[in-house]
Amino acid sequence: MEEVVMEVLFKTCAGLDVHQKTVWACVRRLHPSGRVTKEVKCFATMTKDLIALAMWLKERGVTHVAMESTGVLWKPVYNILEEHMDVWLCNARDMRNVPGRKTDVKDCEWIAQLMQCGLLKKSFVPPKPVRDLRDLTRTRTCLEDDKTRVVNRLHKILEDANIKLSAVASDILGKSGRAMLNKLIAGESDPAELASLALGKLKKKTASLADSLQGHVSEHHRFMLRVQMEQVCALEKEIDVLSERIEQVMAAADAQRRRDEEAAKACEETALKGEQKEKPPLPFLEALKLLMETHGIKRRGAENILAELGTDMSVWPTDRHCVSWAGICPGNNQSAGKNRSGASRKGNSWLRRALNNAAWGGSRSKQSFFAARYSRLVKRRGKPRTIQAVGNSMLKAIYHMLKEHKPYRNLGREYYASINTKAQKRKLVKSLEALGYSVELKALPAA
């Protein structure tokens, strides 16, 4: 079958149309004469069938394969093929077929044609250790969400029982709050006795605690409170187990990387003297310490960020590419010289969530650059968009820290004022004039 082709990137490649039970594969080959041939075959998705697919592709000289990122259905195929060839996981948005030609066979042929002509972009799929780490951190995040839902139900039960503990104690699951709730569940109803369990700063609020713990607690309320507290304890144990496993996986990945680097150095015999090489990716534990020095990022947040990004920043040419991939920058939709929409793309929702949490913490650090950026933008942009802008700056800093192996350098709260002193003077003068003062500026003599 002959047809006109565009500029060819790969002489032989394949396109896969992945489903739950079947995979349609099309091998597309450009012969020296200019003739294009296609070979299509259907495989099941059981492991033995996917191994047969890999062998079938290798026999035909395929080195590059493209497929859609459809939910989680691509993972079994990717796991088998990544050992044998370069697998391109591509956004389904970039692989839409021509209307009126929608069949499984046509889809795999279309994907193969796009692949051969270089019309697809390869999505970032992290290496296996990072994928394992992602599974752990994302599961822990889901369990933390479950715990939040259980705690909210606990608040509702206490309100139904006329117990206003949350109005006095900021955390009802702190040491004092847990002791009071456990005593309440055990049958104690004397407010003074319950308030006497307060520890630390809550001791100063004994009278208020006694008032808040006076309610109408029935046996039904005690049963429901017991159920919710057991769920909270079970979820906390699971979260602790996952946190320990995350530390173990990071340590194991670092140890394996050191062994691989030592083996590579032993085999390397033709290294050029004075050759400029990029710095190798940081080990997980070193990158973790580096990120924890940043304002707003604590250990759990650093683990979540590293699980989504990895430590190899060579994947993205610049910090802007990294920010665009994460989806925390304005969208780009322009036509006829007009910007239609500035909405952000979907990007990596897990990374965006971790960065937003860190941005909230960084914006509350009084002497941090992130606090200056937040106060500069929040008045005209609002809180949600400002937090995204702070997360944008934070991710750019993280990118350079991991790429250049440099510690976090805080630009300071007065950064914007220092780079534009004229604007700062106008702003302060205008504020004083609005209060009814006449202002005359006089420069101090140089020190």
Let me know whether 55 and 163 are in one domain.
Answer: no
The number of folded domains in the chain is 3
**Would 125 be classed as within a structural domain?**
no
Say if 35 falls within a structural domain: yes
pLDDT tens digits, the chain, 447 residues: what are they?
A: 445 445 678 889 999 999 999 999 999 998 888 888 999 999 999 999 999 999 999 999 999 999 988 788 999 999 999 989 999 999 887 777 666 667 778 888 889 989 988 888 888 999 899 999 999 999 999 999 999 999 999 999 999 999 999 899 889 999 999 999 999 999 888 999 999 999 988 888 889 999 999 989 999 999 999 999 999 999 999 999 999 999 999 999 888 888 877 777 766 544 444 444 567 888 999 999 999 999 999 999 999 999 999 999 999 999 999 999 999 888 777 777 777 777 788 889 999 999 999 999 999 988 899 999 999 899 888 999 999 999 999 999 999 999 999 999 988 888 887 777 777 788 888 888 888 888 888 877 765
Same domain flag for 90 and 136: no
Instruction: Check: CB of residue 322 under 8 Å from CB of residue 399.
Output: yes
Residue 67 falls inside a structural domain: yes
The C-alpha angle 47, 53, 55, rounded to 5 degrees, equals 110
Q: What is the CATH number of the domain that holds 42?
A: 3.30.420.10
Mark whether 289 and 356 lie in a shared domain: yes
Structural domain contains residue 268:
no
Does one domain contain both 136 and 106? no
d(CA 32, CA 377): 59
Is residue 240 in a domain?
yes
User: Is the same domain home to 109 and 142?
Assistant: no
97's tokens: 């077929």
Residues 290 and 399 in one domain: yes
Residue type, 96: R
Asked, for residue 20, whether it belongs to a domain, the answer is yes
Place of tokens 């847990």: 178
Q: Which domain holds residue 220?
A: 131-244
Three-state SS sequence of the chain:
CCCCCCCCCCCEEEEEEECCCEEEEEEEEECCCCCEEEEEEEEECCHHHHHHHHHHHHHCCCCEEEEECCCCCHHHHHHHHCCCCEEEEECHHHHCCCCCCCCHHHHHHHHHHHHHCCCCCCCCCCCHHHHHHHHHHHHHHHHHHHHHHHHHHHHHHHHHCCCCHHHCCCCCCCHHHHHHHHHHHHCCCCHHHHHCCCCHHHHHHHHHHHHHCCCCCCHHHHHHHHHHHHHHHHHHHHHHHHHHHHHHHHHHHHHHHHHHHHHHHHHCCCCCCCCCCCCCCCCHHHHHHHHHCCCCCCHHHHHHHHHHHCCCHHHCCCHHHHHHHHCCCCCCEEECCEEEECCCCCCCHHHHHHHHHHHHHHHCCCCCHHHHHHHHHHHHHCHHHHHHHHHHHHHHHHHHHHHHCCCCCCCCCCHHHHHCHHHHHHHHHHHHHHCCCCCCCCCCCCC
CB 26 within 8 A of CB 104: no
**pTM for the whole thing?**
0.84
Q: Among 116, 142, 161, which residue terminates a domain?
A: 116
Last-in-domain residue among 212, 244, 276 = 244
CA 19 to chain centroid: 27
Residue 409 included in any domain: no
For residue 278, what pLDDT is reported? 65
